[in-house]
Structure 1
């Protein structure tokens, strides 16, 4: 049996239905005649709820139910949604205030759901929502990213939700004090909106004894557990499914208030209830990403070896704790705090702040892009201030290939790595030798050219546990039930192809089943770049058990010891027999013999360790000083993803991740005014990147196979974003550095670049140079 797939670039089989309009999303499969839910949302960022009068809305035509927090409690619901708290150096964990799924007593951000109206049609529900009468007593809005201000929760009177520390602070301070060179930089990491093609949505049905919930998310089991807890239902009384999903990016990996209110409405009305966010609701209420400020300091010895590294960040949690909000800029940031560099004196301090804005949680990369952005921007700044080449400074400080396995100061054990080899290949692929000529040509044309490097590493996150069920179907095929959840990554292609590679079952005869809590007992969903690694790991174990089981059955039939039977990924070999049955033929023989026990196989497995994808991103930009416009002229990615099952899908993941990183760096930003009103509430005001603005992205995998799994794989779903932020920011800094531009916050929009150039140097000086 091969330990990994055949590494062929196979076209995605699910794309046929997506491209021909045959995809089945939540709105496509909602029951006919379902009631429609609409939410009455807070119009202000912070206020006491003085009174709510639901009766005018209940009297409106078509209305089946109107619900607020008090009504939900009266129906037996537990309003408080679940979440995870991070360790706090003040003792215990961070603050843990209630996050009600309908506002109770106070509203804390614009868009927070206060009441729900359920009616026969959306138009009727919208009309009735207008009739709900709510009186508010406005409170001061807390928007700034610092402790203090009007308190949002009694549990955090200074709005400091979390005070997290990792590392030996005294050791780091001593190392910084003794360093021959010290470099400091402060970096703002702008808030991002996930902007999924399909907004959040769900529908729920109740048959009198059992709740069925369908929603667009990243895994069904966490929502099932929360529905059990919020609605006080037995586990067997809850069924959660997820059909096709139009993008998640981490934002759909959490539970949201609307799901519980809709489920409660279905239970109480006895009728199906559906809800879909419009784009403005998404902008207002989807969890945001990033939103932090990092103060970074580095200490180098006389040989320019990094001897101390310190980061203190302030992160915005929004109004409440989201599922993993406290963990992102603390525990997950710490995972890759020191990146690919050999330094053991390092410290991270993270203070999480409550503000009167929507929650902030995981967005593609979840803490690792933020950590690498801080580290790689600081490394470039250090090189410029110390007068050395940024590439050479990195080479001096890389963890040497002979140091693996290497344990970082944050306790991560990197199993393998060859960073110098990848960096050398990046220099070749990006044609670094030709940069002076290209720079001169840009200067002659009146433009500024810069190149930026980011060498990233990321830690694969999420549960290392996963399950699978493989069944041989009566029609002569096979079905694989997986615990992960595709959000557009191509899982159906990958998992069917992997099973085909390991068993010889034709890929077109393999059905992939996902997203159903009745059909799959447990699973970890998608997130943290875990899916393919954990799912193929458990599938490989299951195939081994199938081969052993069917092999023993065939051995008994021909009268040879089971140990004499072999399988070559396509056929069984039976000594002394002319039979060479395929796996499907062996399964058919077992079915004919009445051996039902050999037709369905369930397996669970745990990865023994995490893997660490890494690589070099090289961005080359050209800037027009008269307009501030940044054109990304070249973009090169050299990754170490270990062994690949489908290189084309891996490249697609890199392209998508890079584009999202470039979007954050150059154009995207969620903006609130001083009163907490969202100013970037539509795509007229929130600038997602356009295809015409994106470069051709060159990708190459230079594998150093991981020892953490049998396939030698490393996850690839988020790597593009992890590397892109610092690469393009460093390129812009490289282009503008000669003009004296030192500090330019993200996003680096044309207006910001133009202003920075004007402050630094008059146009005639630039032209003369």
Structure 2
């Protein structure tokens, strides 16, 4: 017991910009990533991948079986003959007519046919990586090439018999009749088509996995975004009891949605470890990842906006066609359909809305979630269309948005897509953004650029996000024998700073010094359930569960501490238990030590599960300025300002960091990132020599400001922030490019704004743009 003192955690609680607790470990080489943690002596696996986009194949692996050091060789025929499920599971959308979308199965290893360059054909396990590679090269694959399907029109070479016209799904949502009627009666109708180019996720750490048997159970370590999805996938594929499978996630170097789903290599590595009863490891190299990781975006959107005589938005129709690649990935059918629909109307008060989405199979790598997953795509087309509409209507783009905004007194607001936006003050956020970005001074900056022969443009995007994922989450707080506290969480950090923020929660709620808290994540044996990380859900769902668990700890300990103090009741003031009439205080750690000594072990572990009543809807304004050199087509992002409404911020510095990262990924897609296939389906951008990852010199200082309206969907008033930067960035850059090029007579400008494409736009050379 201690005397009354000032709170030890005064500088560490919530809403403070605390430095990341993870960084000393990660920045000094102390990270434990999947390739660092593989068991000593583990065998090495290599995947032989297709060099052809579409072909019938015959595989002869006889020489590989006999190669030095080889322990196992698997082909599609071997997997078919084994007692495992030879396909990945997917979720399937519902078509407009009520039927189920096409659901051809993606095999773990190709059987008789390959459908994209990079598809897995064989899996080789040997005692060294060099021997595994040598053996893979001994496998003979005879390709009988077929016609290749690359465009997103229906028809063409058939990728799957289950979809003879290559249409995967035909989705619709909203009131088509009311929307068409409103468009017909509109004073003005504005239409715009935009391309949303394919990108490669390119996480800092490529995908990897290792597996081994441990006392009759299978342990699989994978660098994913959660452990319970892979646990279920492995149990199903390998026909095992879930209780016999343990999945762990170590440190993970970036996920961005791409690592949220299962891939063939995880199952094959686990099968090999079980079959050989020895540890097996697989780690992708960079080009292998670029060939086989799920890609992102890749769709064409057509928007039709109807305005009344007062320029109010009264109708919105959007139709998109999305490239699915060669197979359905885990969540792919829902990205540009259902998830897109969540924010399809954006921040505007428009109730006559309708959207359609068609997915198309092509002979390219599969497409799935990438930072934002459908919501950046929805905001991109809407905000590009709103900017274009302002020009066509001859009105100020800022004023047009203000006129069409959902107003603060309209919340909670039921959108035309059935989403209940809980709170918001869009005009206030926009006003702050215009002030911070010095919109009033832009014309002077444009004139300065013009004097230097440059074209300067200002672009606005006002976005809204819908936080997705499982609304339920659990937290467990354990007081350990060494006097420390362990917090078990169901989310999985991919670099976001979860360890720091979760320590802030416990330090704030229980008065525990942060250096006495250990955060445990990513272990299906140590944590009963969890939703993993994705859809910006972590801080809201896990934060709510953490707070509930902390409150339960106080509730459980209060009677025990009252007995210690020999009083009727003891109250917790945020740092310690106190009682009237006593000058002694008991911290939570001291109470736990007393409980252990008294044999009250039931007090030492507390687990709570909470479910959020609704989603949160972060929103904000992005203002971007670009300069274009008309002689070279080079576009530079020279000024960038963000004002976000994330509700209450748990750690403002980390929130700003998330915004910076998201904006850079959006700028990357808008300015330089672009997946290119040739006419035979060969990936031409399979290395960083050819694929334009954003560099520091392409990105200005990003100004970030917070203008919060606390959410009513969780007790902490928080709104997720992990994907918001990307949601707003693409349209801000795109609109800035249009602004810069408008006076040159250009009316349609599409990402990516590479120098060759922008130069071709300035020459109004459609053929050169398409070829690039």
Separation (CA, whole Å) in 2 of partners of 1:207 and 1:22: 26
TM-score (norm: length of structure 1): 0.97
> Could you tell me which residue of structure 2 aligns to residue 766 of structure 1?
none
Aligned to 2:709, which of 704, 716, 719? Answer: 704
Quote the Cα distance in structure 1 between the aligned partners of 2:156 and 2:617.
40
Residue 268 of structure 2 corresponds to residue 261 of structure 1: yes
Question: Residue 79 of structure 1 aligns with which residue?
Answer: 86
What residue is the counterpart of 1:28 in the other structure?
Answer: 36
Corresponding position of 1:450: 457
Residue matched to 1:765? none
Q: Distance in 2 between matches of 1:106 and 1:481?
A: 45
Instruction: Choose the corresponding residue for 1:14, options 15, 22, 46.
Output: 22
- Does structure 1 conserve the Cα–Cα contact (< 8 Å) formed by 2:489 and 2:520? yes
For residue 603 of structure 1, report the CA deviation from its aligned partner.
1.2
Do the aligned residues in 2 keep the contact of 1:208 with 1:270 (CA within 8 Å)? no
Contact kept in structure 2, 1:739 and 1:760, CA below 8 Å? no
Q: Is 1:203–1:274's contact at 8 Å kept on the other side of the alignment?
A: yes
Distance in 2 between the 1:208 and 1:647 partners?
Answer: 45
Question: How far, CA to CA, are the matches of 1:631 and 1:666 in structure 2?
Answer: 8
Q: Which residue of 1 aligns with 2:578?
A: 573
| 1:578 CA displacement | 2.9
SS of 2:259's equivalent? helix
Unmatched 5+ residue regions in structure 1? Answer: 762-769
Aligned to 2:365: 358
Is 1:736 paired with 2:741?
yes
Picking from 718, 721, 744, the partner of 1:716 is 721
Cα 1:704–1:5 shift into 2, 3 Å = farther
Partner of 1:668: 673
Q: CA separation in 1, counterparts of 2:750 and 2:123?
A: 40
Q: Which residue of 2 aligns with 1:677?
A: 682
Q: Are 1:653 and 1:720, in contact at CA under 8 Å, matched by a contact in 2?
A: yes
Contact (CA 8 Å) 2:737, 2:749: kept in 1 or not?
no
**Separation (CA, whole Å) in 2 of partners of 1:264 and 1:303:** 65
Tell me the CA shift for residue 209 of structure 1.
Answer: 1.7
1:590 aligns to 2:583 (yes or no): no
Q: Please give the per-residue CA displacement for 1:72-106, whole angstroms capped at 9, x wherever unaligned.
A: 23221101211111221132321111111111221
Q: Which residue of 2 aligns with 1:324?
A: 331
- Which residue of structure 1 lines up, in the alignment, with residue 448 of structure 2? 441
SS in 2 for 1:512: strand
Distance 2:577 2:558 in 1: 7
The answer as to 2:450 corresponding to 1:405 is no
How far does the alpha carbon of each residue in 1:268-295 deviate from its partner, in whole angstroms, 9 at most, with x for none? Answer: 1111100011111001000000000001
Select 1:749's aligned residue among 748, 754, 758: 754
Among 531, 556, 559, the alignment partner of 1:552 is: 559
How far the C-alpha of 1:556 sits from its partner, in A, is: 3.5
Distance 2:265 2:76 in 1: 12
How far off is 1:557 after superposition?
A: 3.7
Deviation at 1:109, TM superposition (A): 0.7
**In the alignment, is residue 202 of structure 1 matched against residue 216 of structure 2?**
no
- 1:240 paired to 2:241: no
Is the CA contact 1:740–1:760 (under 8 Å) kept in the aligned structure 2?
A: no
Distance 1:422 1:12 in 2: 28
Q: Post-superposition shift, 1:29?
A: 1.1
Instruction: Give the match's secondary structure for 1:723.
Output: helix
Instruction: List gaps (5 residues or longer) in structure 2.
Output: 1-8, 767-772
Distance in 2 separating the partners of 1:179 and 1:603: 53
Query: Contact (CA 8 Å) 2:68, 2:131: kept in 1 or not?
Result: yes
Instruction: Summarize the alignment of residues 39-58 of structure 1 with structure 2, pairs less than 5 Å apart.
Output: 39-49=47-57, 51-58=58-65
Structure 1 match to 2:646? 641
CA contact (8 A) 1:334 1:348 kept: yes
- Counterpart in the other structure of 2:695: 690
1:469 aligns with 2:476: yes
TM-score between both structures, scaled by the size of structure 2:
0.97
Cα offsets for 1:295-315 (capped at 9, x unmatched) = 110000000000110000000
Determine which of 89, 96, 100 is the counterpart of 2:96. Answer: 89
- Cα deviation for residue 399 of structure 1 reads 0.2
Match of 1:613 in 2: 618
The 2-side partners of 1:92 and 1:475 are apart by 58
Quick check: 1:642–1:712 contact (8 Å CA) kept in 2?
Answer: yes
For residues 754 and 69 of structure 1, the distance between their equivalents in structure 2, rounded to whole angstroms, comes to 47
Contact 2:545 2:610 in 1 (8 A): yes
Task: Deviation per CA, 1:527-556: give whole Å up to 9, x if none.
Answer: 100011111100111111110000021223
Residues 497-521 of structure 1: CA deviation (Å, up to 9, x unaligned) = 1111111000010001011010011
Paired residues, what number? 757
Question: Closer, same or farther in 2 for the Cα pair 1:69/1:760, shift >3 Å?
Answer: closer
Aligned match of 2:499: 492
Cα distance in 2 for residues equivalent to 1:231 and 1:576 = 64
Distance 1:160 1:640 in 2: 39
Shift of 1:64: 0.3
After superposition, give the CA deviation of every residue in 1:377-416 in whole Å (9 maximum; x if it has no partner): 0000000011111101000000010000000011110000
After superposition, the CA RMSD in angstroms is 1.4
Matching of residues 149-548 of structure 1 within 5 Å? 149-207=156-214, 209-548=216-555
Q: Residue 628 of structure 1 aligns with which residue?
A: 633
1:411, 1:566 → 2: CA distance? Answer: 44
Instruction: Indicate if the aligned counterparts of 1:218 and 1:526 stay in contact, CA closer than 8 A.
Output: yes
Distance 1:281 1:538 in 2: 39
Q: Distance in 1 between matches of 2:611 and 2:93?
A: 24
Is the partner of 2:298 in helix, strand or coil? strand
Q: CA deviation at 1:28?
A: 0.8
